[in-house]
Amino acid sequence: MSVCAYCRQDRPLTREHVIPAFMYNFQKQLEQSVIGWNEVAQRMVGGEGKVKDVCADCNNRVLGELDAYGKQMLINSGLLVQNYTKRELTLQYDYSLLLRWLLKVSFNSSRTDDAHSHLFERYVPFMRGLEPSPSRNQVAALLYLARPETLGASRIADEPFVRIANGSSLLNPFLVRICYGAIPGEHRYVLRINVFGPAVFFLMMFENTILPGHAASAIRRLTKLTPGSVELIPNRKVVEVRAGEKSWLDLYEDQVARVHALGVGG
């Protein structure tokens, strides 16, 4: 018996996927290896990353429902595909459910290295559906669409990337990365990043004392620094995004280079 990270009850604990299980299953169906770079371990890792501090009720009911929402959203938007070659995206979303899911995925990831797990504690009741959405000066969510690479001129043209392209001259594979970033000179928030294929979701987690106007200024600055990114708004149900300047390879270049250098295929 131990304390569940979500309900804070002393209950038997189960294993919860860091990256949602349906994404692992999707990759397996494509006969790709589930593999990535672990920044903490500083090595390539395979298998399915999990945390071990979630009770069965939270895991199967609350978190399972959020993953089901995330899966359906990705399917409906056409993102859950092997190779996304479009340069635009129409995303239909429920803001509260989407933000709960993004926070949940990032919270699970943060507990593997303890980098920012404390920042999520105040939002656990919201993730469980027990409190309203945090205000814009607490958490803001932005969406960026990575552009595809032209395979013939790509910096990476090896297997399994050619196989993933499946005859197309454009390459934009469904890779997943849960991480965090930093903006030079910016100290008003922590930037958490959830990458699902070409869709990059930025979570701006602000300091407790920041004023709404200062948060709005920080949001405007981030959108200028990442041309093409669009803020997700609570009272909207759909957003249209065009691909920005950075491709999936620009976002993954270090990790892809590590895979290539180590001779790891999918």
**Mean confidence (pLDDT) of the chain:** 86
Burial class (CB in 10 A: 0-12, 13-18, 19+), 11: middle
When pLDDT is cut at 50, 70 and 90, the band that residue 44 belongs to is very low
- Which tokens go with 40? 């903490």
Spatial contact of 199 and 215, defined as CB atoms under 8 Å apart: no
Q: Percentages helix, strand, coil for the chain, rounded to the nearest 5?
A: 35, 25, 35
pLDDT in tens, 220-253: 999 999 999 999 999 999 999 999 999 988 887 6
Confidence at residue 261, expressed as pLDDT on a 0 to 100 scale: 42
In the predicted model, is pLDDT for residue 262 greater than 60?
Answer: no
pLDDT score of 7 more than 60 = yes
**pLDDT tens profile 87-141:** 999 999 999 999 999 999 999 999 988 778 899 999 999 999 999 999 999 999 9
Q: How far apart are CA 246 and CA 265, in angstroms?
A: 24
More confident residue, 39 or 247: 247
Tell whether the model's pLDDT for residue 5 goes beyond 90.
yes
Crossing angle for the helix pair 21-29 and 64-76, nearest 10 degrees? 50
The Cα–Cα gap between 21 and 29 comes to 12
According to DSSP H, which parts of 161-247 are helical?
161-165, 212-225
> Which stretches of the chain are assigned E, i.e. beta strand?
2-3, 10-11, 13-17, 35-38, 43-46, 50-55, 88-92, 139-145, 149-150, 170-171, 176-181, 189-196, 199-206, 230-231, 238-242
pLDDT tens track for 143-189: 999 999 888 766 665 666 777 788 888 989 888 889 888 888 899 99
Q: Tell me what the mean pLDDT of segment 67-72 comes to.
A: 98
Write down the pLDDT at residue 47.
60
Q: What is the pLDDT of residues 180-193, one digit of tens each?
A: 888 888 999 999 99
**3-class secondary-structure state, position 205:** strand
